[in-house]
């Protein structure tokens, strides 16, 4: 991979695991300095060592994306340590499944708090920072293919991920005049710890694999290139797009 992002400061929320970690690694391999925001500081420290091994600066920032003061403090610390913001990836998310008739209000609120409130607070913070810097920049909002179809048990998760489409589109429209681009990444089935229960369900894996034209789930590392593409400041006119990375699952 070339070093097209040398000197760029990038933030990946939920960057200490799964897809977020893979995106952080992709950015580091392309030369970006990376801050990962997450709650589990032990796991983050191990990822920072891997990022630094790519020859870039990296930092782990303890942050709850759904907590307003925590998000503001995380941005201040990131910019103090790594310099002006160049790319912000709102990736952190949780999934909890239950049939709607059995879903508690607590579950609903927990999922929406992290995924939707968190997405709002983080992208608002990034947008304010980009506008204040006057430097332009790139925001990537991580939704899901579940925003494109109905799935049993996923009322809260699906609502949150569909809501993020509205957030991302609005950001693209509002921020274009500040040369800030916002694109929405839509991953399909990817092997991470978020869905270990589903990975263990042979029938489920067989059914989803059979429905996927690529005939397999994704590995997180397959998000390296798309991330560096969307983060690249040279991509000046590419905003408001939904970039689907799902092996063709939702093409039908
Ligand atoms: P993981 O469970 O592997 O990682 C989730 C990450 O989010 C962790 O780094 C976790 O860190 C962080 N996180 C969770 N809650 C918070 C919080 N309140 N504040 C800060 N960080 C938080 O999930 P994936 O990598 O699979 O998912 C990443 C994104 O991709 C999610 O938005 C998910 O919805 C989306 N996605 C995943 C798909 C898949 O098949 N895996 C498919 C489509 C979309 P910590 O616990 O340390 O805070």
Comparing CA positions, the residue from 87, 82, 176 lying closest to residue 123 is 87
DSSP code, position 72: H
- Is the interface score ipTM higher than 0.90? yes
Longest dimension (CA), the chain: 51
Taking each helix axis from N to C end, the angle separating 118-133 and 68-82, rounded to the nearest 10 degrees, works out to 40
In tens, the pLDDT along 30-47 reads 999 999 999 999 999 999
Ligand 1 pocket residue status of 59, Cβ below 6 Å: no
| Residues belonging to the active site | 144, 157, 161
Ligand 1 pocket residue status of 54, Cβ below 6 Å: no
User: Ligand 1, atom 17: nearest CA belongs to which residue?
Assistant: 64
Closest ligand 1 atom to Cα of 142: 32
Instruction: Compute the distance from residue 1 Cα to the ligand 1 centre, in Å.
Output: 25
Q: How far is CA 101 from CA 153, 171, 176, in A?
A: 9, 34, 42
In tens, the pLDDT along 111-128 reads 999 999 999 999 999 999
pTM of the model: 0.98
Ligand 1 pocket residue status of 142, Cβ below 6 Å: yes
In the CATH hierarchy, which top-level class contains the domain 9-244?
Answer: alpha beta
Length of the chain: 252
CB 167 within 8 A of CB 119: yes
């Amino acid at each position: 991979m070339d070093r097209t992002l040398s000197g760029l400061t990038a933030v990946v929320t939920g960057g200490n695991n799964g897809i977020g970690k893979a995106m952080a690694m992709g950015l580091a391999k392309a030369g970006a300095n990376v801050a990962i925001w997450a709650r589990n500081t032990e796991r983050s420290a191990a990822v920072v060592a891997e990022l630094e091994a790519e020859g870039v600066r990296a930092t782990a920032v303890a942050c709850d994306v759904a907590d307003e003061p925590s998000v503001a403090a995380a941005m201040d610390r990131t910019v103090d340590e790594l310099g002006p913001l160049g790319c912000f990836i709102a990736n952190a998310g949780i999934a909890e499944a239950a049939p709607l008739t059995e879903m508690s209000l607590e579950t609903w609120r927990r999922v929406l708090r992290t995924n939707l409130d968190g997405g709002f607070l983080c992208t608002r913070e990034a947008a304010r920072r980009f506008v204040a810097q006057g430097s332009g920049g790139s925001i990537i909002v991580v939704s899901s293919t579940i925003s494109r179809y109905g799935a049993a048990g996923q009322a809260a998760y699906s609502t949150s991920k569909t809501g993020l489409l509205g957030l991302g589109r609005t950001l693209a429209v509002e921020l274009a005049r500040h040369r800030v681009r916002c694109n929405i990444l839509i991953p399909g089935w990817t092997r991470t710890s978020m869905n270990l229960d589903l990975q263990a369900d042979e029938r489920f894996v067989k059914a989803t694999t059979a429905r996927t034209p690529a005939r397999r789930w994704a590995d997180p590392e397959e998000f390296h290139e798309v991330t560096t593409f969307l983060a690249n400041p040279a991509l000046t006119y590419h905003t408001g797009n939904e970039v689907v990375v799902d092996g063709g699952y939702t093409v039908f």
